[in-house]
Amino acid sequence: MTNTWIVVADSTRARIMSPSDDEPKELDEIIHYVGRAGYTGAEKTSAPKFQEIADLVHPISQMKPQELETDRGGRVKGPGGNAPYDSRHVDYDHQRAEEMTREITDYLMQAHQKNEFEQLVLVAPPKMLGVLRNQLPNTLQKLVVSEIDREYTLLSAQKIEQLLSKKMN
């Protein structure tokens, strides 16, 4: 079986998953912590078939733009007019996406050098997917077998598995 990694990302977080060949265990066997409100152990749901390999979080990307700036920017006169404008306009959304993409790329390159996967599926919102396409090295781009332009980073592994199986079939 081909080892495929699924990269579910946005500009602040990336979850890397792989379909698992293991038989799913009962949920009460794998949840030692009673983190789910109302979980009594009576429910017998099976675990997701996706194994989460990594959860990359970029904490600076989760900050608001005003938290990243310390002072007010210099103001200059606009071209051809007298109206002043802020000369330091920064597209923080794009900058966050690029920083997260660098982290994803570094992680994937290290894993690829260890032959941990053979194929990639990219799942990200359209803007993030565009940044991923532009910044992934050719060696990784050749391994991409599918791209899905959706925001799934906050969903459970089971829900991601369910949605992806519909989209990929």
Region 4-69+89-168: CATH code: 3.30.420.60
Q: How confident is the model at residue 28 (pLDDT cuts 50, 70, 90)?
A: very low
At 24, is the pLDDT very low, low, confident or very high (cuts 50, 70, 90)? very low
- Position 64 scores a pLDDT of 59
Residue 71 has pLDDT above 90, yes or no: no
Mean pLDDT, residues 155-163 taken together: 88
Q: What is the C-alpha to C-alpha distance for residues 4 and 91, in angstroms, rounded to an integer?
A: 33
The label of the residue with tokens 């992934």 reads 136
Domain positions in the chain are 4-69+89-168
pLDDT level of residue 165 (50, 70, 90 thresholds): confident
Please list the helix, strand and coil fractions of the chain in percent, rounded to the nearest 5, in that order. Answer: 35, 25, 40
pLDDT in tens, 136-153: 999 999 999 999 999 999
Cβ atoms 55, 156 nearer than 8 A: no
Q: What is the mean pLDDT of residues 113-136?
A: 94
Structure confidence by residue, pLDDT tens digits, 82-115: 555 555 556 667 788 888 999 999 999 999 999 9
- 42 vs 119, which has greater pLDDT? 119
Band (pLDDT 50/70/90 cuts) for residue 19 is confident
The beta-strand segments (E) located in the chain are: 4-9, 13-19, 50-57, 75-77, 84-86, 119-123, 144-148
Per-chain mean pLDDT for the chain: 76
